[in-house]
């Protein structure tokens, strides 16, 4: 048994890619995409026809609609290869607009329905801003399930749970990046590996809190930098993993020092002293403001996704 097979005993494995031709070899349950992954995919020569066909078919329509149609086309290709769900992201430029986020999400789901895809197979990805969380709350009530992304702090996770979001994606690797950069030359890699990794610790706390209080929102660790981070979260509800890290897990035998064991256990989580918290808007904004890492990484993540969305638009205009 390799490490990927062993990991599947405890956790649902999700592929973090827009390159659907890579999916078959890893057999993930679900798949996630984001603006950066979509841009990376359609820039590849092998995917040029998908971009060209979509633009040609809907030329003259508003650019935002053509982009959504491209995202849905890519999502449909992915869903043809996996048994579960695909996450499709709302334009990051709407991260602070609840109404516009809901409208865009509803259009994406309608496009999937028109392509014969049931809403249960789609997760709408939304940045975990206060406005994004409120949009998810409304959408969930309408039967549209959401994946709250760019999540770096406990307060974001707790607010998503209050909103009854279907799933959250706390970012392990970007938390790790921030702490490593802040420590500079003083950073001790060995001392911050595995369960001591700050990104791993953040996800573990969220997982324990959710299980302690019977919260139904699924926790999906994301944004990994190495396989050690992944294995330290074995037992998390889901883990979304890039193809290169999936390949590394599949290439290593799960034996000896490379054995895979459950790191997160819902039964053990019930023993943790983690009081239930409730956030209104002022409390949420204050808690997020007090977390320098989360504040910086959330803003940085939105800016990066906006930049890639603009690059995708430019690419479409050039077709």
Give the pLDDT of the chain (319 residues) as one tens digit per residue: 999 999 999 999 999 999 999 898 999 999 999 999 999 999 999 999 999 999 999 999 999 999 999 999 999 999 999 999 999 999 999 999 999 999 999 999 999 999 999 999 999 999 999 999 999 999 999 999 999 999 999 999 999 999 999 999 999 999 999 999 999 999 999 999 999 999 999 999 999 999 999 999 999 999 999 999 999 999 999 999 999 999 999 999 999 989 999 999 999 999 999 999 999 999 999 999 999 999 999 999 999 999 999 999 999 999 9
What does the alpha-carbon distance between residue 20 and residue 30 come to, in Å, rounded to a whole number?
A: 12
Helices (H) and strands (E) in the chain, counts: 14, 8
What does the alpha-carbon distance between residue 219 and residue 13 come to, in Å, rounded to a whole number?
A: 12
Count how many domains the chain has: 1
Enumerate long-range contacts of 241-246, CB under 8 Å, 24 or more apart.
241/13, 241/14, 241/15, 241/16, 242/16, 242/17, 243/15, 243/16, 243/17, 243/19, 243/22, 243/26, 246/4, 246/13, 246/15, 246/26, 246/28
Residue 140 corresponds to which tokens in the numbers above? Answer: 């969930």
What does the alpha-carbon distance between residue 104 and residue 97 come to, in Å, rounded to a whole number?
A: 11
CATH number (domain holding residue 24): 3.20.20.70
Counting every residue written for the chain, the total comes to 319
Per-residue pLDDT at 24: 86
Catalytic residues: 125
Helix or strand run (H / E) with residue 284:
helix 281-290
Pairing of strands 218-221, 30-32: unpaired
Per-residue pLDDT at 124: 98
- Residue 141 contacts by C-beta under 8 Å, 6 or more apart in sequence? none
What does the alpha-carbon distance between residue 37 and residue 15 come to, in Å, rounded to a whole number?
A: 12
Domain range holding 57? 3-317
DSSP-H helix ranges across 148-223: 154-162, 172-183, 198-212
Per-residue pLDDT at 234: 98
Question: Chain-centre distance of CA 227, in angstroms?
Answer: 17
Q: What is the pTM of this model?
A: 0.97
- The angle, 0 to 180 degrees and rounded to 10, between the axes of the packed helices 292-317 and 48-57 is 70
DSSP for residue 14: E
């Amino acid at each position: 048994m390799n490490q990927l097979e062993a990991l599947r005993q405890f956790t649902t494995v999700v592929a973090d890619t827009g390159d659907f031709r890579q999916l078959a070899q890893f057999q993930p349950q679900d798949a996630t995409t984001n603006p950066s992954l979509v841009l990376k995919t359609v820039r590849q020569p092998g995917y040029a026809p998908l971009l060209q066909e979509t633009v040609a078919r809907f030329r003259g329509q508003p650019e935002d609609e053509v982009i959504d149609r491209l995202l849905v086309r890519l999502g449909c290709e992915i869903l043809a290869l996996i048994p579960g769900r695909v996450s499709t992201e709302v334009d990051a430029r709407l991260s602070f607009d609840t109404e516009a986020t809901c409208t865009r999400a509803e259009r994406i789901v309608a496009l999937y329905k028109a392509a014969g895809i049931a809403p249960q197979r789609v997760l709408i990805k939304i940045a975990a801003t206060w406005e994004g969380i409120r949009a998810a709350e409304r959408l969930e009530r309408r039967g549209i399930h959401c994946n709250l992304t760019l999540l770096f702090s406990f307060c974001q996770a707790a607010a998503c749970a209050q909103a009854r979001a279907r799933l959250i994606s706390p970012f392990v690797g970007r938390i790790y990046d921030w702490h490593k950069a802040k420590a500079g030359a003083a950073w001790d890699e060995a001392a911050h590996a595995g369960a001591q990794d700050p990104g791993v610790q953040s996800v573990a706390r969220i997982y324990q809190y959710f299980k302690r209080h019977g919260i139904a929102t699924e926790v999906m660790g994301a944004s990994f930098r190495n396989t050690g981070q992944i294995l330290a979260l074995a037992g998390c509800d889901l883990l979304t993993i890039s193809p290169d890290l999936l390949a590394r897990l599949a290439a290593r035998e799960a034996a000896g020092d490379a054995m895979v064991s459950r790191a997160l256990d819902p039964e053990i989580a019930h023993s943790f002293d983690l009081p239930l918290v409730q956030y209104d808007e002022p409390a949420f904004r204050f808690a997020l403001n007090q977390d320098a890492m989360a504040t910086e990484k959330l803003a940085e993540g939105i800016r990066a996704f906006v930049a890639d969305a603009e690059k995708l638009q430019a690419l479409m205009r050039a077709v």
